[in-house]
Chains A and B, each alone.
Chain A
Amino acid sequence: MTDNTKSLLLKMSRISKSFGPVEVLADVNLDLYPGEVHILAGENGAGKSTLMKILGGVHTDYSGKIKIEGKETDFKSVQDATEAGVSIIHQELSLIGSLNVAENIFLGKEKSSYQWLDKSHMVEYSKGILKNFGLDIDPKRAVDEFPIGIQQMIEIAKALAFNAKIIVMDEPTSALTEPEVKKLFKIIDQLKEQGCSIVYITHKMEEIYSIADRITVLRDGEYIGTETAGNLPCEKLIQWMVGRELSQQFPRHTPHIGNVRLQANNIFVPAASTNPAPRVGNVSFSVKAGEILSIAGLQGSGNSELLNGIFGTYGKDTKGSVEIDGEKYKIDSPSKSIQRGLALLTNDRKSNGLVMDLSIIKNSTLACLPCYSRCFWLRPADERKAAKETTESLKLKAESLNQEVDSLSGGNQQKVVMAKWMQTNPKVLLLDEPTRGVDIGAKHEIYELMNQWTKDGIAIVLITSEMPELLAMSDRIMVMHRGKVTAQFSREEATQEKVLSAALGKRKPA
């Protein structure tokens, strides 16, 4: 036992962490042997990133113990963690595009004498590191001159430049092409030989089994177990990831399904600047009146981008056509979409759902302001009346309707967004994570509202990262992986295991 612990490179034991009243990690364990690739698996929100942020010195207020090579550590900052040999490669690139490659690699660790930078040394050193990875590039060129795949490799080189022993890779392949992935795996093998250990987070099943030595599974912030890859076949892994009892807290009523309200044909959302792969590749689907269609998918699956694309968030960049109640049109802009009867509840109300400085009334009438004004003159009495009616029907709790939405709880803020969209009389509601950051009571009310809306003939497209919610509230489930549809299930067919394996990229046999 003692021997065993001694040879461990890293031992994290009984790690717990809360954000305010919400516990996101409870007694989680993770240990690493030298020279292993350790997969950290779990659904969205399982606590993987939080655990890695604790290891990387980003979160410093947690309980539990971290030992590196048997020595107990307590990181106070990211610098502390770096010095101890922990290096994290984040999902989003953290390079500064305008600086050159060498400057990026040495950022914060510049070699200098008397504040005078030793540029030639840094360039030579960077060149050597890059060569190690088979990258023959000029370190004096600016990072943003390189394609995204190379940038990702530079990021990895940067992370490994200074004697990292523990390397955390958070979905490193999401922006890489197939040959680049192969190259990365070769580098990982090389690192293993040098005695480095790698914690690898991925949402891709084929990657897990091609590089994993051991796998640790987290679920809803709890530690489920650790097993060698050989002893944890795919089916069992999925079971570990989902393995919860489905409770009956979801009151989906039997729907009265009518005609097709929304038909989306070949929706294509082009690549973002940070990733060469298209975000959504030619997806088609339809929703009927009174129906809830869920689009399941893990992070990076493109489900949120699909809804945004249809709504016109990216303007005319989104290709494909949409029909609402049989009327066909080309995707244009959010304001046109609203006029046609679409409403999109975005997944981040703070950054693009609400104007935090404005009152409940002003937020709730924002999408339908022409209804409450005559020739540009606002009619505050009408606004107040409409806001009062909708917020009451949504059971919004607030001291006054003139209160700024900033001061409301998450659930009530979400209801303000809903009030805004109800005032536009939508035909199709696109709900992207409607219960995110909302307490249990308000969640229940939101489920009831969804029932009410579908009863009124509205079609709902739902995205949720909570599996129980997904299974209980959907009449139909479409699963996406890397911008493509991998499976469709009826309410009766769907199980957690089936949905998750499709979300991990396994196509459903036809």
Chain B
Amino acid sequence: MTHFEASPLLCVQGLSKRYGSFTALHEAAFDLWPGEVMAVVGESGSGKTTLLNVIAARMQPDHGSVHYRMRDGALKDVHAMTQAEQRLLARTDWGFVHQHSAEGLRMDVSAGANVGERLMGLGHRNYGQLRATAQEWLQRVEIDPLRIDDTPRIFSGGMRQRLQIARNLVTSPRLIFMDEPTSGLDVSVQARLLDLLRQLTQELRLAMVIVTHDLAVARLLAHRMVVMQRGRIVEMGLTDQVLDDPQHSYTQLLVSSVLQP
């Protein structure tokens, strides 16, 4: 974030979503700036994943809007786009890393094909080039390029998550959504993934919305933090502010319940 950007990348306003009589999301609002990493924390059922899915246009809100600044500078309402436009955005300028890698990967095709898929979707057909790019990205996410022809089915959990990241970053997106990317991984594997993410977001100036219930993950990666409870954003601020001087009673409970955030 060296360059002081003139306008936000993403503007979220008054976002609400109900499932029947259950309010999953109530009036969520924030701006996200280029290169900014924002963590969304809160316990399960607090609306974190709903927020992520609605922002990423994977789900329609009942009220409110999400505007995204396209590469040409135009601000577009993502829910007013056609499905084709949404798909293109999701496959090029955005990325989505799922908690369960099986949702974000093709488990029965090779690692190389997983990485190359988005490029092929954009019309890249040169096999040699696709393979070289895939090799380069595998290396960047610390997967041995010799594993390029293996399927992720025989990868470890940590490798699968790193492969998901490579698969998303290959088109140089400007915004990545992450849903609990480290949960279910061993602590040592988690640390490696987090550190890799930290480096990649900094080097590539990636903006990121990361949903996590782990405050240490937020501390390490995020510039800003949003705390959710029962579908509402109850507190928002610099990550260290929210963790070190929590104002809302729910945030105080969250922070005090952790051994070493």
B and A form one assembly? no
